[in-house]
Structure formats: C-alpha cells, structure tokens
Amino acid sequence: MRRSFLASLVLALAGCGSTGGELLEFDAYAAGPEGRTAGEPYTFVTDRGYEVTLTTAKLHIGAVYLNQSVPTSVSSDTSCYLAGQYVAEIAGGADVDLLDPGLQPLSARGFGTTERAKTAEIWLSGGDIDADVDPTVIARVEGVATRGAETFPFDATITIGENRALEPSDPAQPGARPICKQRIVSPIEIDLRPEAGGSLVVRVDPAGWFDNVSFDELEQVDDSPPLYRFRDDSLDQPSRNLFNGLRANSGVYELEWVP
Amino acid sequence: MRRWSSLSLSVALAAALAPRSALAQPLPAEPHPPNDPTDAPPPAGATPPKVKTSAEPQYPPGRLSDEHHHHDPLPELDVEIEVTIDETGKVIGAKVLASGGADFDAEAIEAAKAFTFEPATEKGKPVRSRFHLPFHFEPPPHAEPEVVEVVGKRPPPTRGAGDYRIDVGNLAIVPRKSAAELLKLAPSVFLLKDGGGEGHADRVYLRGFDAREGQDIEFTVGGVPMNDAGNYHGNGYADLNFIIPELVTRLRVLEGPFDPRQGNFAVAGSADYELGLDRRGLTAKATYGSFNTARLLMLWGPDGQSPRTFAGAEIFRSDGFGENRESWRARAMGQFEGRLGNDASFRISAGGYATQYESAGLLRQSDVDAGKVDFFGTSDANQGGSAARFHLSADFEVKTGETTYGLQAFGVYRSLSLRENFTGSLLDEQLPRQELHGQRGDLLDLQTTAGTFGLRGYGRHSFEVLGLKQDLELGMFARGDLVSALQQRVGADTDDPYLTEADLDSKLADLGLYADAAVRFTKWLTLRGGVRVDLFAYDVQDNCAVTDVSRPSEDDPPGDASCLSQQRFGDHREPNQHSTTASIRPLPRVSLLLGPFAGFSFSAAYGQGVRSVDPSYVTQSVATPFAAIDAGEVGVSYAKSFELATLGVQSVFFATHVDRDQIFSETEGRATLAEGTTRAGWAGSVRSTGDFFDLSASVTLVQSRFDDTGLLVPYVPDVVVRHDGALFHDLFPIAGSPVSGKLGIGASFVGERALPYGQRSDVIFGLDAAVSMAWRFLELELAGTNLLNLEQKQAEFNYVSDFDATNPATLVPARHFAASQPIGVFGSISGTLGGDR
C-alpha cells in the first residue's frame, strides 16, 4: 500500500508540469513577390507614376528576428534591440533573388519559442551590426523606369557603412543616431506564432523601395547606352529615398508562418 | 551540552574503578587481535594499569534536547571502550568494542580519553597496555536534574520530523569539496557550482527552493550569521567556503521556518554548523591530486580541552579542471571553550578566510556543439573573483536554578568581488547622450564590503505543571550591517569599467524578539512554539540614483557618465538619493509532537518566515518590502537502538508558499524579485550506524509552481536522491598497533530540472569515494570524485546571450550550462603529534 503510494507520488512529481512555452528550431526562407515567374523582369508602377521594370533585384538579408512586443511610441531609445522579448531568430541570412518567387533558404536555421510574435526585424548587415565599415552589398538593382517619354535605365548598389552614418542633430546627444539603426528594418508588423514543424517565409517586394524615388533627379553616369545610377550614400534625393524604401517597415517585407 | 549527573549516566565506573584486572592487560609481545579481549591473567611479573582519575560520559545531548522524550523511555544501554594506555599512563587510543550507537559511542570515547592511569608494568617496567571500560547509559530522571559540570551549549529542542540533527561522524570520510557539501547529509538538499568558480558560494536547493547562494536558507556557524544582508548579488548570499570541513562535527538542518529562533532568510529553512575537533593533538595533512590541486591543512586539538577547543588552518590551490579555473585559498579557524565554575561555559571563536579564483562561467550549448568553445572551456576568460571574511564571536551560557541564560556577541567583516558574464555582448545599450559605441561586453564587476555586528541572547525557564515539565524561552536577536556595493560593466577589450549599474551604501538593522514555549499536556503530547517579531530598518544611500535624463543640458551634456547630476532640461541635482524605511513582521510558529510510541514519533508544524529585500528595492517612507513565507509539514520519525545498530528514519510531507520568490536574472547578474510560488513534496531519510558502518540515504520529491500561472518554477529538481556511507574497521596489526581502514562512498542523483520555455535539464549523477588507512600517528587517504567520469552539466539555464559580436546577434533564449568536474583523484597523507594517536 505504502509502496504503491510512493510510486504514485514519484510518477506524479517526476517530469510532470512545465514552465510554459517551448523552444523549437525551424527552417526559414526568403523569396520575391508571389504570382510571378522566376527569372522574368518585374514590372510595377510607383507612387510617383514611374513604371519600373527590374531585371535584377537582389537583397542580402543578414538576419531576421521576431519580437512579442509592439513599440508603443517613438522614443529616444537608440538601442538596436527592441525592448520586448525576442521569440525567434534566424541569425544568418542569404543573398536573395527578389525576381524569384520561389522559396530560397536562409543560411541559418531558425531558433525560437512558441510565443506569439507581433513585430519583426530584418537586419541588413554582413555581420556586426555596430561595425563602422561593412562592405557587404546589401542590395543590387538594375532596370528601367519610364514616365511618359522619359526613360531611365538605372542601377544601384547599396552598402551600409560610413556612407550611411548620420551626424547627430543635437550635440548633446552624439549617440542618437547609431549606425546599427541604419541597418535594421523595424518594426515590421506581424502576427504569427511559431510552431514545431513549421517554417518562416520572408517575402520581399522591391517595388516598395521605389515609391518615393524621382528618377529624373538621378545622375546620368553613361550616355551610350544611357545609364542612371543611384549613389551609394544618402546625399541626393533619389538615393536617400531608395535607401529609405529599402528600410521601409511596411509594404516591402511580409513574414508568414507556414505550418 | 551539559553534564547532568542525574541524567546519567550511571557510568559503570564502579566496574572500572573496582579491581577489574580481567579487563586489562599489558600489550603482549605478539599482538592480540584488537577486538579479542582475554580474560587470561596477566603474565607473571606484570601488573595491570590502575585508574588514577576517571570521567563520566554524558547522556548524548542530542537525545536529551529532544525534550518531548523526557517522559518517555530513552534508551538504556551499554558501551564498552577499549583504551590503549602508554608507558606514562596516558590514554593514547580508544575504540569501541560494544557500540550503543554513534552518539553514545562518541560520548563514551570522550570520557574514556579523559581517564588517567597508573601504567601497567612488566618486570617492573612501565609498558603499554589495553584496558576495557564499560559504560552504562541511563536516561536521566526528569524531575530534578542536577548540574555537575557544564560544557558546550544545549541545542535547541526539536520541531518535528523535518528538524535534522546530523552528526558528521564517520561520514566525514566521504569526499566533499567544501563544508557546504555536508548539507547533503540532510534530505532535500542539493548543491552545485553554477560556473561561478571555486571561491563562489555554492548554489543550494532545499525543499523545492532554488535558494541560489543561500538567499533562502538562514546559515549560521556556531550561531554566527553567515548570510550577507544587503548583498547586491543576492540578498542573503552565504559563502560557506570559509569553513574548514574537518572542523564540522554536527549540523542542525531545520527544513522550514518552524522555530522562533530562526530569523531572516529562513525561507526554505535554516542550517547551523557546529564546529569541533574530536582528534586531539597537532595534525598536519597534505593533499595532492588531479588538476594540480594541492592542499595543506593543520589542525590542533589541545590535550585536556574539550573537542570544541581547536584551531585549524589551510592553504589551497588548484589549476581547476578546465580553462580559467585556477584558484587560491587560505583559511584559519579557532575556538576556545572554557568553564566558569560548574554552571557556566563560554566559547570564543575567530576565523579568517581569503580566496582568489578564476571562473569559466556559463557556456552556450550551441557554441560547444559548433566547436567554438570546449566543454571545459570558457566564453569569457575575464571571469573570476575574490573574497575575504574575518569574524570574531564570543558566547556565554549560565544556569541559575531552573533558568538558563545565554548571550552571544559577534562581529564579521567580509568583502566580495565577482566578475561574471552571463550574456556576452548584448546589454550595452547606446544612449543618445553617449558617444557612439558598439557592444563593449557585458562583464559584470561587483564589489561589496560589509561589516556585521550583533547580539543574540535568551533566557530559558523550566517549571512543572500537573507534574509535567514545561518550558518557556524568551530571546532576542540584533544585527546591524554596514554594506557597500558597486556593480559596474567592464569593457571586454579594455578591462576598464564603462558603466556603473549600482553604487549603494546601506545601513541595515534587523532586531528580533521571540517567545518559545513547550507545553506538555501528557507524556506523549507536546505543543511547542511561539512567536517571533522582526523589525527591519534600512538607511540606503544610492550614489547612482540618476542614470538617465531625457533632455540633458545642451551646454554641458552629461556625456557617457553613468551617475548623472542633471534632470529636466539640465537642472542640476546630485546623483545620489537617500532613502530610509522600516517595517515589522510577526511570525507565529508552532509544532505538535506526539509520541514516541514504540519508537515512532509524529509531528505537525506550521510557521511563517521572512526574507528581507536587498537595498536596491527600498523607497523612501514606503514600508520595507519583504517576502512572507507560510510553511507546514507533517511527519513521522522512527528511532531505535538495536543490538548491532541504531536506526533513525524520517518521513515528511511539506508545503511552503512564498509571496515574493527570487528568480535569477541573467541580465542583472543577480537574484531579483518575482511572483509568488508554492511548493509541495515529500522527503524521506534513513541513517543507521553500527560498529563498523554508518549509512545515510535520503529521497526528496517536490514540485514548485508559480501561484498566478501554475507553471513550474525553473531550475528546481523534482527528484533528489543522496546516499552517504562509511565502512570502518581495524584491519591488521603492524608492530603491535592496529591498522584501521575506512571506506566512504557518496552518491547523488538529481532528476531533471524544469528550465524556462518548457525545457528540462539533464539528470545529474555523481559517485565519489575514498579509502583511508591509519596506523598510529599516520594516515593515508585516496579520494576520487566523479568516479564514473561522466561528462555532465551541473547548472543549466535557458536565456538570451550573444558571445559572438561579429555575427548577427543571438536574441532568443538558448541553453547554457556550467560543466561538471571530470574524474578527480586526490591522495593525502596526514600525521598527528600528541593527542590520542
């Protein structure tokens, strides 16, 4: 009788219960916009009325993070990390062909918890998010933009390093604009809960990069054939807006949990 | 402990004093088997030794302290001791021929050693001889105890089955790295090193509490408090490394806050170490072994003094069992116990301890799997620490009529330096007012110094009602602490502090009054308990109260300084903030004791406890927050002395609720307040001692859950199993002196521990053993730890860290662990001059 009671107690206690949540590993992919054929040019019309046809669109994703919190306001917080708890990460990215709607695996497996995620971050870096210099090509685009009779064959190569460093607007706050903030697309609104056996898909629509770009302000770098080129810095309007489009937290990046 | 002649002990001294030549004989040229007393007459021309002065053993005080036994049949039994007498008539050795149990044997041996003799002679020359001393123990008559001699202090009465009185005894042979590991002799206790290093306090688990470095257990050594009140790393941090294990004779582990004498930090319970040294003479011990570990130990037990008069000193160093684990340590302890007349005794004790050590810290499992760091490696070689402790204590106890008074004064100085990095390079937030910087590393550098002084005293009165003895004790405890704490972050590349996280100067006071009564209704029913009232007062100077200012002065921005002198658009203010507060907490505690009935005793206990908070949580004029504890248990114990062995068994069901638990925060590097938790479980233990063995085993099953969510409290093991065993016997003689051998085995099993995010840790199994052989004044010992050489993780955690700043950060929880020591082998040689060897 007593032995059976003790045995029951052991069974009741040992291994029973949980601290809540679960850790899991998952696969992660990136892809271009859906509904297209891989390898074919991607044509779209921007908010400024340009019809853009991309023949090359590549993006280097450094890492992807999911967070359970939504920032409530814009604050002076200059930390590269969100205040809330991160629930999933893919701490390694890939060069993604955005003209290919097929799933392209990221270089690292995802790790996370089963907590619900409300925001996401895309890190556009080759490694250290705080490095002053990072030669990694984050984005590379080629294409043609037309508006009426105007035609702008263009290309752009975007890196994020000293060329994107911002001077502090207030000398009393020299650390208000760290380079890490230039490398992070955040917060991207999502609502998903990682589950065992599923995978994360990041779809990137490069059309959103060009929404505010005025191609007619681009510098022409070649006459024959004509070629307009975005600067790899933020010193002119089109280049600055393309970079801002690259870092837009809505309309460009969509994250989906695929069971 | 007192010598009560009427308690007694009717020592069969008459037997010893009367002509008992048949019991004594000169040592023969050809040695007799040690346990082969002969009744043969001494050889011609030989005379046996004669008793010059005798001594009486006391009835084991641990039995007497269990006062509900006073009216019940305490065992009446005999112990026979064989003493070896040298040519001067001095007793140089004593061993048990007929055991009455470990505690009776110890008292009998102590008395036997106090005998002096006219030496035996052979052909007119003094020679060595053996003599048998039979002692008869009778429980004392209850009515009128008569004090004839006062030595030691009387232990507090039992609170039930969960009140464990542990004689280390022969289980001292079981390998233990520290005095903290002696706690494993009590059920429910589990210890581990969580990567903090050799000099870091052990992490202690008790009855479903993750007591961290002692924050939930009130530790005392001979009544001197061990917990560091106000320690920023963990309020109640208790570093037991200053205790020399060989100087621990007994422990009282009371699992639960059931005794009004228990004060602050008695959340899961309390543990009191009683120091002493049975071996008299000057002993030197040298140890060398794995990991280039070397230890020198000196122990001195002056002849003619009680076992509680001793001195000991030790020097230790080791490379450690992996990268960045080197350590150095020195410690010394001493105590003198004396008498003032027949009714009073006093003790003066002092100790000093210093250590410096490196620590490997915690490793990310993924880094080990990827080969970035070895299993026994480190992710940050700047981790380590140092500590020092010095204490002085004096206590006095006197009996006047039916009242006993006691007073103890103590003073402690301690310092602690910890360098720990749990999170790698993750927490160095870029603030707008700071110059641009990347992650400079999360290495924590905590420096604390503290001075403690205090008093404890009591008056205990006994009287009779309805023919039954009743007791009332009134007591007080007063403790003051002056504590300073500075915690900074140190740059990984520069080793310079770049951020001050805390800079506190605190004055803490804890004053407690208690009343404790024993009300005996019948011979078998006792209600014991009372109430304790504690006042906690804080006076905290936060030297770094202002760490951020949203709109700093444009003309004179504060820059990178941590502790700011600006607020609201640059208005000046000093960076400090002064806060004082106080609060009172009454703590009722009661135990109901029934029995014994045929050796079985039943008990039920309820008590409330308290744990103060660290000074960082103090706010001006807001009542001092503290954790309140409610605990209860029901248990049964069985004690019986058989012809060949004594047996003690306990079984306890328990439950404890704490309204503010403490959970370790990896980001803050310390224990922080969390939600309320409740744990419930069962603990069973058994210990049996005999002529040649001493065996102890315990099993604990427990679950701890958060009150609000019902989820498991992380890091607490569900199952803890422990076994300690010792075998000892004389093996063979050499040159007429026996070679005695000992074998000790310790085995631990710790079940899976709940980890955050629904994870479970690995189980832990440890097997340690030691063998020793002693001959005359020499002793050789060989000890092995983790004999199965299992590659195990001691502590396991799930939290966020990033130890590779060059790659994308790792920001989700991941498994971390501290490696357990691989197999270690250590050899010792010791020699004793003088004393009983």
Distance in angstroms (rounded) separating the CA atoms of residues B747 and B231: 33
Interface subset of A 229-258, CB within 8 angstroms of B? none
Out of A14, A16, A173, the one facing B432 most closely (by C-beta) is A173
Least confident of A67-71, B219-223, B498-502: A67-71
Mean pLDDT, range B653-661, rounded to an integer = 92
Single-letter code of the amino acid located at B312: G
Please name the residue that has the structure tokens 């970079």: A243
Mean pLDDT, range A198-207, rounded to an integer = 96
Out of A6, A65, A173, the one facing B811 most closely (by C-beta) is A65
Using the beta-carbon criterion (under 8 Å), do A10 and B702 form an inter-chain contact? Answer: no
Give the pLDDT of residue B143: 35
Tokens of A101: 């709607």
Sheet holding B269-275, edge to edge: B163-167, B248-254, B269-275, B217-221, B224-225
Mean pLDDT, range A165-175, rounded to an integer = 85
The answer to whether A7 faces chain B, any CB pair under 8 Å, is no
3-state SS, one letter per residue, for B454-520 = EEEEEEEEEEEECCEEEEEEEEEEEEEEEEEEEEEEECCCCCCEEEEEEEEEEEEEEEEEEEEEEEE
The answer to whether B719 faces chain A, any CB pair under 8 Å, is yes
Out of A15, A17, A78, the one facing B705 most closely (by C-beta) is A17
pLDDT band, very low/low/confident/very high, at B543 (cuts 50, 70, 90):
very high
Residues from chain A contacting residue B432 (CB–CB below 8 Å): 76, 78, 170, 173-176
Give the pLDDT of residue B86: 84
Give the pLDDT of residue B72: 46
> Nearest-CA distance from B808 to chain A in Å?
5
Residue-range domains of chain B with CATH: 2-150 (3.30.2420.10), 190-833 (2.40.170.20)
> Nearest-CA distance from A66 to chain B in Å?
9
Percentage of chain B lying above the pLDDT 90 cut:
61
Residue B343: Cβ within 10 Å count: 17
Give the pLDDT of residue B3: 32
What B700-703 contacts at long range (C-beta under 8 Å, 24+ apart), as own/partner pairs, is: B700/B187, B700/B188, B700/B207, B701/A9, B701/A10, B701/A13, B701/A14, B702/A13, B702/B188, B702/B207, B702/B208, B703/A13, B703/A16, B703/A17, B703/B208, B703/B679
Using the beta-carbon criterion (under 8 Å), do A19 and B431 form an inter-chain contact? Answer: no
Mean pLDDT, range B405-431, rounded to an integer = 93
pLDDT tens by residue, B615-643: 888 888 777 768 889 999 999 999 988 88
Given a cut of 90, whether residue B664 has pLDDT beyond it is no
Total domains in the fold of chain A: 1
Give the pLDDT of residue B92: 83
pLDDT tens by residue, B9-64: 233 333 333 333 323 333 333 333 333 333 444 555 678 888 887 878 888 776 76
- Chains A, B: CB contacts within 8 A come to 143
* Residues in contact with B634: Cβ distance below 8 Å, sequence separation at least 6, in sequence order: B602, B603, B604, B605, B652, B653
Question: Which residue has better confidence, B549 or A95?
Answer: A95
Using the beta-carbon criterion (under 8 Å), do A178 and B430 form an inter-chain contact? Answer: yes
Interface subset of A 61-120, CB within 8 angstroms of B? 62-63, 65, 76, 78-81, 86-89, 91-93, 111-113
Out of A17, A92, A171, the one facing B754 most closely (by C-beta) is A17
Using the beta-carbon criterion (under 8 Å), do B431 and A78 form an inter-chain contact? Answer: yes
pLDDT band, very low/low/confident/very high, at B2 (cuts 50, 70, 90):
very low
Tokens of B748: 């631990």
Using the beta-carbon criterion (under 8 Å), do B713 and A19 form an inter-chain contact? Answer: yes
Beta bridge partners of B486: B447, B503
Percentage of chain B lying above the pLDDT 70 cut:
91
- Please list, residue by residue across A159-195, b when 16 or more beta carbons sit within 10 angstroms of its beta carbon and e when fewer do: bbbebbeeeeeeebbbbbbbbbbbbbbbbbebebbbe
* Residue from B439, B757, B815 to probe the interface with A (highest A Cβ count within 10 Å): B757
Given a cut of 50, whether residue B316 has pLDDT beyond it is yes
Given a cut of 50, whether residue A184 has pLDDT beyond it is yes
Using the beta-carbon criterion (under 8 Å), do A19 and B714 form an inter-chain contact? Answer: yes
Give the pLDDT of residue A15: 55
Least confident of A78-82, A232-236, B591-595: A78-82
Residues from chain A contacting residue B681 (CB–CB below 8 Å): 13
**Region for residue A246 given its phi and psi (left: phi exceeds 0; alpha: psi -120 to 50; beta: otherwise):** alpha
Given a cut of 80, whether residue B837 has pLDDT beyond it is no
pLDDT band, very low/low/confident/very high, at A77 (cuts 50, 70, 90):
low
Beta bridge partners of B699: B684, B721
> Nearest-CA distance from B303 to chain A in Å?
50
Give the pLDDT of residue A1: 43
H or E element, residue B105:
helix B102-113
pLDDT tens by residue, B239-271: 999 999 999 999 999 999 999 999 999 999 999
Using the beta-carbon criterion (under 8 Å), do B719 and A180 form an inter-chain contact? Answer: no
* Residue from A3, A13, A134, A160 to probe the interface with B (highest B Cβ count within 10 Å): A13
Nearest to B212 by CA among B245, B190, B185: B190
Interface subset of A 136-175, CB within 8 angstroms of B? 170-175
DSSP B633-646: EEEEEEEEE-SSEE
A58 domain-assigned: yes
Using the beta-carbon criterion (under 8 Å), do B808 and A62 form an inter-chain contact? Answer: yes
Using the beta-carbon criterion (under 8 Å), do A16 and B553 form an inter-chain contact? Answer: no
Give the pLDDT of residue B40: 42
Give the pLDDT of residue B44: 56
pLDDT band, very low/low/confident/very high, at B73 (cuts 50, 70, 90):
low
Distance in angstroms (rounded) separating the CA atoms of residues B271 and B221: 8
Give the pLDDT of residue B15: 33
pLDDT band, very low/low/confident/very high, at B144 (cuts 50, 70, 90):
very low
Give the pLDDT of residue A76: 43
What are the backbone dihedrals phi and psi of residue B803, each rounded to the nearest 5 degrees, phi first? -100, 10
Interface subset of B 674-693, CB within 8 angstroms of A? 681-682
Using the beta-carbon criterion (under 8 Å), do A17 and B809 form an inter-chain contact? Answer: no
Give the pLDDT of residue B720: 94
**Residue A177: closest C-alpha in chain B:** B432
pLDDT tens by residue, B328-367: 999 999 999 998 888 899 999 999 999 999 999 999 999 9
Sheet holding B363-364, edge to edge: B363-364, B814-819, B793-799
Least confident of A126-130, B478-482, B506-510, B548-552: B548-552
pLDDT band, very low/low/confident/very high, at B188 (cuts 50, 70, 90):
confident
CA angle B671, B675, B678 (to 5 degrees): 100
**Residue B366: closest C-alpha in chain A:** A111
Using the beta-carbon criterion (under 8 Å), do A19 and B752 form an inter-chain contact? Answer: no
Given a cut of 80, whether residue B150 has pLDDT beyond it is no
CB B582 within 8 A of CB B519: no
Given a cut of 80, whether residue B99 has pLDDT beyond it is no
Give the pLDDT of residue B352: 97
The three-state secondary structure class of A197 is coil
Given a cut of 50, whether residue B313 has pLDDT beyond it is yes
pLDDT band, very low/low/confident/very high, at B524 (cuts 50, 70, 90):
very high
What are the backbone dihedrals phi and psi of residue B697, each rounded to the nearest 5 degrees, phi first? -150, 150
Mean pLDDT, range B279-307, rounded to an integer = 95
Residues from chain B contacting residue A17 (CB–CB below 8 Å): 703, 705, 711-712, 754
A1 domain-assigned: no
Mean pLDDT, range B99-109, rounded to an integer = 79
Nearest to A137 by CA among A107, A154, A161, A120: A161
CB B364 within 8 A of CB B801: yes
Instruction: Tell me the HSE value of B357 on the side-chain side, using a 13 A CA sphere.
Output: 29
Out of A22, A62, A76, the one facing B432 most closely (by C-beta) is A76
pLDDT band, very low/low/confident/very high, at A13 (cuts 50, 70, 90):
low
**Region for residue B230 given its phi and psi (left: phi exceeds 0; alpha: psi -120 to 50; beta: otherwise):** left
CA distances, B794 to each of A46, B370, B752 (Å): 59, 20, 11
Least confident of B655-664, B675-684, B819-828: B655-664
pLDDT band, very low/low/confident/very high, at B743 (cuts 50, 70, 90):
very high
Beta bridge partners of B678: B657, B705
H or E element, residue A246:
helix A237-246
**Residue B750: closest C-alpha in chain A:** A14
Please name the residue that has the structure tokens 């995802």: A110
Least confident of A70-74, A238-242, B156-160, B775-779: A70-74
Single-letter code of the amino acid located at B279: R
Using the beta-carbon criterion (under 8 Å), do B806 and A128 form an inter-chain contact? Answer: yes
Give the pLDDT of residue B142: 47
* Residues in contact with A39: Cβ distance below 8 Å, sequence separation at least 6, in sequence order: A99, A100
**Residue A175: closest C-alpha in chain B:** B432
Classify residue B717 by its DSSP letter.
B
Tokens of B787: 């004999």
* Residues in contact with B465: Cβ distance below 8 Å, sequence separation at least 6, in sequence order: none
Using the beta-carbon criterion (under 8 Å), do A91 and B439 form an inter-chain contact? Answer: no
Sign of CA dihedral B70, B72, B78, B79: negative
Between strands A63-67 and A117-123, the pairing is antiparallel
Choose from B100-109, B206-215, B287-296, B802-811 the range with maximum mean pLDDT.
Answer: B287-296
Give the pLDDT of residue B33: 34
pLDDT band, very low/low/confident/very high, at A21 (cuts 50, 70, 90):
confident
CA distances, B553 to each of A76, A167, B572 (Å): 15, 19, 9
Range of the domain at A50: 21-258
Given a cut of 90, whether residue B133 has pLDDT beyond it is no
Question: Which residue has better confidence, A156 or B137?
Answer: A156
Using the beta-carbon criterion (under 8 Å), do A87 and B812 form an inter-chain contact? Answer: yes
A194 domain-assigned: yes
pLDDT band, very low/low/confident/very high, at B833 (cuts 50, 70, 90):
very high
Given a cut of 90, whether residue B100 has pLDDT beyond it is no
* Residues in contact with A195: Cβ distance below 8 Å, sequence separation at least 6, in sequence order: A24, A114, A257, A259
The three-state secondary structure class of B360 is coil
pLDDT band, very low/low/confident/very high, at B455 (cuts 50, 70, 90):
very high
CB B246 within 8 A of CB B297: yes
- Mean pLDDT, chain A, rounded, equals 89
Give the pLDDT of residue B153: 67
Give the pLDDT of residue B26: 38
Given a cut of 90, whether residue B672 has pLDDT beyond it is no
pLDDT band, very low/low/confident/very high, at A78 (cuts 50, 70, 90):
low
pLDDT band, very low/low/confident/very high, at A71 (cuts 50, 70, 90):
confident
Distance in angstroms (rounded) separating the CA atoms of residues A98 and A54: 10
Question: Which residue has better confidence, B570 or B148?
Answer: B570
Interface subset of B 605-624, CB within 8 angstroms of A? none
CA angle A188, A190, A192 (to 5 degrees): 145
